[in-house]
Amino acid sequence: MANLRLGKLPDRTPSKITITVRADLNQALQDYAALYRQTYGESETVAELIPFMLAEFLESDRAFAKARKEGVPGAGASEKPGRQSADHA
């Protein structure tokens, strides 16, 4: 079997999650979407922005990354989604 540089791609099946947020958080999200539109000249809905916001938050949380790397029970896989090395193919 060939040892490709690119590892096997992860499951990319989207999962739908429904949440309820407080009015002040909803307003902050709407404000963020407006600032995003002003900054980049492209309109994105809050629903389109949230997955990227959550991913950015999780990737920037050092304690969470450390827990995942150490394999702490309940912390999930040890690698970031979408970033699998060739050694794991």
8 occurs within a structural domain: no
Residues 70 and 64: their CA atoms lie apart, in Å, by 10
Q: What is the pLDDT of residue 37?
A: 95
Residue-wise over 44-76: b if at least 16 C-beta within 10 A, else e?
Answer: eebeeebeeeeeeeeeeeeeeeebbeeeeeeee
Residue 38 lies in a domain: yes
Q: Which domain holds residue 50?
A: 23-71
Structurally, the chain folds into a number of domains equal to 1
User: Over the stretch 26-83, which tens digit does the pLDDT of each residue have?
Assistant: 999 999 999 999 999 999 999 999 999 999 999 999 999 999 999 987 655 544 444 4
CB 68 within 8 A of CB 75: yes
Give residue 8's pLDDT band: very low, low, confident or very high (50, 70, 90): confident
Asked if the structure places residue 4 within a domain, the reply is no
Structure tokens at 68: 């995942």
